Amino acid sequence: MKTMNELISKYNRPGPRYTSYPPVPFWKNQPDEASWISHIKTIYSASNGVDLYVHIPYCESLCYYCGCSRVITRNHDVEGEYLALVIREWELYQERLGFTPAVNSLHFGGGTPTFLSPENLEKLIKTLLVNKIDNFVGSIEIDPRTCQADHLRVLKENNISRLSLGIQDFDPIVQKAIHRDQSPQMVEGLVDKIRENGFASLNFDLIYGLPKQTLETISKTFEIVNRMKPDLIAFYSYAHLPERIKNQRLISEGDLPSAEKKRELYEHGKKLLIENGYIDVGIDHFALPSSYLYKAKISHNLHRNFMGYVDKKSPILIGLGPTSISDSSLSFIQNMKDIKDYKDKILHNCLPIEKGHTHSNKDLVIQDIILDLMCKGEVSLTSPKDIPYWNEIQAELDSFAQDGVVERSNDQLSISELGIGFVRNVAMCFDFHLREQTNSTKFSQTI
């Protein structure tokens, strides 16, 4: 059996993150607007409703590591027009469908959702939640530097109960290298207010592989994190893609850890998390036993979508705002990325669809396999005749088994404890789009 360093050397290659299948670069057969609406109508049920994702693209400051779609501005006059566009997009959906969908969950991402004033945020929430199901769940990503007491009041009063803070790292040298200054004292003050308001869940987003990070800085960051004790932690790998993401060129590549050092940072952080009571529930995500994600994990109700891991998922996800991705279970679409293009479509009473994909039967088979690997760490391969490239996959699975990454018993495949960090690589061997790609697509490294 290979050592961890040997496994890292062997498997550290570019690969999709599989928040969807197929990954966006492999989309084809884009549905037109009529087909897209037809797919939603086919799958929709009032009992399951729809999940809503709302993209708020604005940020007051540029974070050098960020790969999200955002606009840097301190001009808050843009809020009013942007709200009107998002609300109009939701109205277009209601008009096309002929009814107001019940909302199962609402998630605000960005950019910086708390760029919006508390008044505008409340207006948007109330407009979107005219019809929601009884056990509705609301969540939001928060920049601690822009969150006001009135934001928390609005969120609490409107049932947005799950908060996620963008922390990334608490070390001041690392923060300077990524252009994101926020002191532990400021964050701790916000966490105290969140707890005083009785929100149901608190997540911290952290990143490993950032410039200037060391085992010592990671240790200090987790010491501070453990003092605040959020019930969830997302510990993401930094994906350095400067040829695609221009602002990442502001990061000196000489300050980035090697693949081996980056893996050490992850393993060290994971060790500290486990020592402090957190449990690995899936790729990048850790949870306290009291958290909803841990409970979903042990009850086999964990799901994965474009927003990561969730415990409660409708078959339909509708994304509002530029770049937002939607999922009908029969197809995907993504909105226009450029705000001007998005605006032009909305003002012409068209859904702002830029690209999309209609699922084939093969897509749906592989999607189920990859989701089981990502969410359950195991999958039953009972119908190999339905799996494209099965002979090639068998040979690759044998290699994974020899390396101790997977365990196989009859038609059951499971990820070993050693293999948890390589689950993306295992998923890749089932990805027939990846095998058939004609132009090499640049993905982040799997390790």
The residue count for the chain: 447
Q: Where are the beta strands (DSSP E) in 98-149?
A: 103-110, 132-142
Give 79-114 pLDDT, tens digit per residue.
Answer: 999 999 999 999 999 999 999 999 999 999 999 999
- Which tokens hold the place of 210? 């950032």
User: Whole-number mean pLDDT of the chain?
Assistant: 94
Least Cα distance to 443 among 241, 307, 209 occurs for: 241
pLDDT, tens digit, 9 for 90 and up, residues 183-210: 999 999 999 999 999 999 999 999 999 9
Tell me the average pLDDT across 370-392. Answer: 92
Q: What is the largest CA-CA distance in the chain?
A: 62
Residue 111, preceding peptide bond in cis (omega within 30° of 0):
yes
Residue 283 or 222, more confident: 222
Output 81 or 2, whichever has higher pLDDT: 81
Tokens 């505008």 belong to 120
Domains of the chain as residue ranges with CATH = 1-18+361-447 (1.10.10.920), 19-318 (3.80.30.20)
447 pLDDT more than 80: no
C-alpha distance from residue 79 to each of 61, 74, 115, 119 (Å): 16, 11, 9, 11
C-beta atoms surrounding 411 within 10 Å: 11
Task: Summarize the confidence of residues 220-225 as an average pLDDT.
Answer: 97
**Could you read off the pLDDT of 301-315 as tens digits, one per residue?**
999 888 788 998 899
**Would you call 334 exposed, middle or buried from its count of C-beta atoms within 10 A (0-12, 13-18, 19+)?**
buried
pLDDT tens per residue, range 318-336:
999 999 999 999 999 999 9
Mean pLDDT of 368-391: 92
Q: CB neighbours of 124 closer than 8 A, spacing ≥ 6?
A: 54, 83, 86, 87, 116
Q: Are the C-beta atoms of residues 19 and 374 closer than 8 Å to each other?
A: no
Q: Is 268 exposed, middle or buried (0-12, 13-18, 19+ CB in 10 A)?
A: middle
Q: Are 228 and 187 in contact (CB under 8 A)?
A: yes
Q: What is the pLDDT of residues 411-427, one digit of tens each?
A: 999 999 888 889 999 99
Please write down the long-range contacts of 148-151, taking CB distance under 8 Å and 24 or more positions apart: 148/114, 148/118, 149/193, 150/118, 151/114, 151/118, 151/121
Predicted TM-score of the model (pTM): 0.93
Residue 351, pLDDT > 90, answer yes
Q: HSE (CB half, 13 Å, CA atoms) of 45?
A: 7
Helix, strand, coil distribution of the chain in percent, nearest 5: 40, 20, 35
